[in-house]
């Protein structure tokens, strides 16, 4: 069966992993189920219920919903235990509201009247709003399918993780694609692992029943983290694509025990893409060579170039990695600093209105109306600039005119004032990425074969 991370239907089904999108930067992973298996849900008439600060969501209301649907919170009969919880929440909230009020009053007594202002009222209002949110049953969530992106923002953090903006770029640069054989170390919280599994997954092989050759080999030396990532791969149906190993890669390198029955036999992952998110990547580089070491095979694919990326927070780490890569024949070594910033650019309207229309700020009713409005705005902008130009031309005389005349067709759209602001909160931590390539090994035999092929064509 193909993992729901890689292929899914249109609706959420029982036992599916879903991501409950609470707000832009907050999601909650849940396995949808109507069977009450945990004491947490006993006594709930609705079966399994996920409780959030936006209300209660019985799984029965989510199973069968199309992915992406908005799910409204339900009034849940949580039985006597639930009622007790709700009463406790209400009592706590009431106490917080009273405390906020008291603080506000004592502050306003110690200040002059004019000094007493919105700050205190805001505190009371915020406390009151919290009360309402906590006991609300009128909130909603969106139910989203599991994807590496959703998983990254909701996964249980065991370490620092690689976020989506970074791993998209890394996977692109190391040419991870269906069929790639990718080494990852360390597995950490499994954020990168999920994205890598999707990148190497061979959909054609999966649907045709032919075993996929794309594979991720994920190494981790921390026993508990290894155990968790291994279990997650099974739970998420990715264990046929991701092979996990408990290993200190600095000491023992990257050969794998793919055969669980025969733990003494280590084979080569034949990797052509490598990502090292380790404190000291330079210590792992000596294991990533073409030469066979101590009679053991190389971990690299002999028939293709290998693309590598290392992720380090400090420039000194990047320097040590670069120097180790040089010493081990890696080429095209390049460092990229990741500094992710999202800049929101929007147009603020200044109250233009259109004859017979509902005003510039109102949304267009349909695409046709939007096009009419856009053309109208463009026409006005062109007319405006043409008028300004002709006035300027008259004033400046013919010679100056020619020097100053911009291309009217390329004048900027002038429907409002452009404003921008940077968004401070985008989840990625600054990193230095070192990229390198190890060309494929080229033997005398390869040369002879190439020459033979070439001579056939001339």
| Using rule CB under 6 A, residue 279 touches ligand SAM | yes
Stretch that binds ligand SAM, among 1-9, 135-143, 187-195, 426-434 (CB under 6 A): 187-195
Stretch that binds ligand SAM, among 53-61, 154-162, 257-265, 320-328 (CB under 6 A): 154-162
Report the nearest approach of ligand SAM to the CB of residue 236 (Å).
Answer: 14
Among 249, 256, 274, 309, binds ligand SAM (CB under 6 A): 249
In this structure, the number of other CB atoms found within 10 A of the CB of residue 394 comes to 9
Pick the closest to residue 258 from 269, 249, 250 (CA basis). 269
| Using rule CB under 6 A, residue 282 touches ligand SAM | no
Shorter beta-carbon distance to ligand SAM: residue 165 or 302: 165
In this structure, the number of other CB atoms found within 10 A of the CB of residue 80 comes to 8
Task: Please name every residue paired with 246 in a beta bridge, in sequence order, or none if there are none.
Answer: 220
Shorter beta-carbon distance to ligand SAM: residue 230 or 247: 247
Shorter beta-carbon distance to ligand SAM: residue 21 or 287: 287
| Using rule CB under 6 A, residue 278 touches ligand SAM | yes
Contact predicate 50/34, CB 8 Å: no
Among 5, 44, 201, 250, binds ligand SAM (CB under 6 A): 250
Stretch that binds ligand SAM, among 88-96, 205-213, 241-249, 427-435 (CB under 6 A): 241-249
Contact predicate 286/324, CB 8 Å: yes
For residue 317, give the H/E element and its range: helix 315-327
Contact predicate 301/212, CB 8 Å: no
Among 159, 168, 319, 393, binds ligand SAM (CB under 6 A): 159
CA–CA distance, 322 with 300 (Å, rounded to integer): 19
Shorter beta-carbon distance to ligand SAM: residue 159 or 414: 159
| Using rule CB under 6 A, residue 185 touches ligand SAM | yes
Report the nearest approach of ligand SAM to the CB of residue 199 (Å).
Answer: 14
CA–CA distance, 95 with 81 (Å, rounded to integer): 21
For residue 38, give the H/E element and its range: none
In this structure, the number of other CB atoms found within 10 A of the CB of residue 320 comes to 19
Stretch that binds ligand SAM, among 160-168, 174-182, 287-295, 314-322 (CB under 6 A): 160-168
DSSP-based three-state secondary structure for 22: strand
Handedness of CA 405, 408, 409, 411 (dihedral sign): positive
Binding to ligand SAM, residues 391-450 (CB under 6 A) = none
| Using rule CB under 6 A, residue 55 touches ligand SAM | no
Among 161, 176, 256, 308, binds ligand SAM (CB under 6 A): 161
Shorter beta-carbon distance to ligand SAM: residue 157 or 341: 157
In this structure, the number of other CB atoms found within 10 A of the CB of residue 302 comes to 14
For residue 306, give the H/E element and its range: strand 306-312
Number of residues in contact with ligand SAM under rule CB under 6 A: 23
Report the nearest approach of ligand SAM to the CB of residue 188 (Å).
Answer: 2
Shorter beta-carbon distance to ligand SAM: residue 6 or 185: 185
| Using rule CB under 6 A, residue 164 touches ligand SAM | no
Shorter beta-carbon distance to ligand SAM: residue 95 or 427: 427
Report CA Rg, the chain.
Answer: 30
Shorter beta-carbon distance to ligand SAM: residue 252 or 259: 252
Contact predicate 27/150, CB 8 Å: yes
Shorter beta-carbon distance to ligand SAM: residue 190 or 415: 190
Q: DSSP assignment of 136-198, as one string? A: -SS-EEEEE---HHHHHHHSPPSS----HHHHHHHHHHTT--TT-EEEEE--TTSHHHHHHHH
For residue 355, give Cα distances in angstroms to 181, 373, 376: 62, 11, 11
Shorter beta-carbon distance to ligand SAM: residue 225 or 307: 225
Binding to ligand SAM, residues 213-232 (CB under 6 A) = 219-222, 225
Q: List residues near ligand SAM by CB under 6 A.
A: 159-162, 185-186, 188-192, 219-222, 225, 247-250, 277-279
């Amino acid at each position: 069966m193909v993992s729901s991370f890689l292929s899914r239907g249109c609706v959420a089904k029982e036992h599916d992993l879903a991501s409950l999108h609470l707000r832009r930067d907050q999601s909650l992973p849940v396995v949808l189920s109507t069977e009450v298996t945990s004491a947490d849900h006993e006594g709930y008439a609705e079966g399994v219920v996920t409780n959030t600060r936006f209300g209660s969501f019985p799984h029965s209301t989510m199973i069968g919903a199309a992915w992406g649907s908005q799910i409204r919170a339900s009034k849940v009969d949580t039985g006597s235990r639930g009622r007790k919880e709700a009463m406790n929440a209400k009592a706590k909230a009431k106490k917080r509201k009273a405390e906020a009020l008291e603080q506000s009053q004592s502050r306003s007594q110690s200040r002059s009247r004019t000094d007493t202002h919105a700050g205190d009222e805001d505190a009371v209002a915020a406390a009151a709003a919290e009360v309402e949110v906590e006991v609300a049953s009128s909130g909603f969530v969106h139910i989203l399918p599991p994807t590496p992106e959703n998983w990254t923002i909701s996964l249980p953090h065991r370490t620092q993780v690689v976020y989506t903006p970074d791993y998209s770029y890394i996977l692109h640069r190391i040419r991870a694609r269906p069929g790639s054989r990718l080494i990852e170390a360390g597995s950490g919280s499994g954020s990168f692992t999920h994205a890598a599994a999707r990148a190497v997954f061979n959909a054609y092989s999966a649907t045709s029943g032919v075993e996929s050759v794309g594979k991720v080999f994920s190494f981790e030396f921390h026993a508990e983290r290894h155990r968790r990532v291994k279990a997650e791969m099974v739970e998420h149906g990715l264990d046929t694509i991701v092979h996990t190993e408990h290993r200190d890669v600095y000491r023992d390198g990257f050969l794998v025990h793919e055969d669980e029955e025969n733990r003494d036999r280590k084979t080569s992952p034949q990797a052509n893409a490598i990502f090292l998110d380790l404190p000291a990547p330079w210590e792992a580089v000596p294991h990533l060579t073409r030469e066979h070491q101590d009679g053991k095979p190389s971990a690299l694919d002999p028939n293709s170039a290998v693309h590598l990326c290392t992720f380090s927070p400090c420039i000194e780490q990047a320097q040590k990695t670069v120097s180790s890569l040089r010493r081990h024949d890696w080429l095209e070594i390049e460092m990229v600093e990741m500094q992710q910033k999202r800049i929101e650019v929007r147009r603020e309207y200044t109250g233009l209105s259109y004859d017979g229309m509902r005003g510039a700020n109102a949304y267009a009713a349909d695409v046709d109306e939007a096009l009419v409005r856009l053309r109208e705005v463009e026409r006005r902008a062109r007319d405006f600039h043409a008028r300004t130009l002709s006035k300027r031309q008259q004033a400046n005389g013919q010679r100056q005119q020619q020097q100053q005349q911009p291309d009217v067709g390329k004048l900027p759209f002038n429907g409002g004032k452009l404003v921008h602001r940077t968004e401070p909160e985008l989840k990625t931590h600054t990193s230095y990425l070192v990229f390198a390539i190890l060309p494929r090994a080229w033997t005398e035999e390869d040369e002879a074969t190439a020459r033979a092929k070439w001579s056939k064509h001339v």
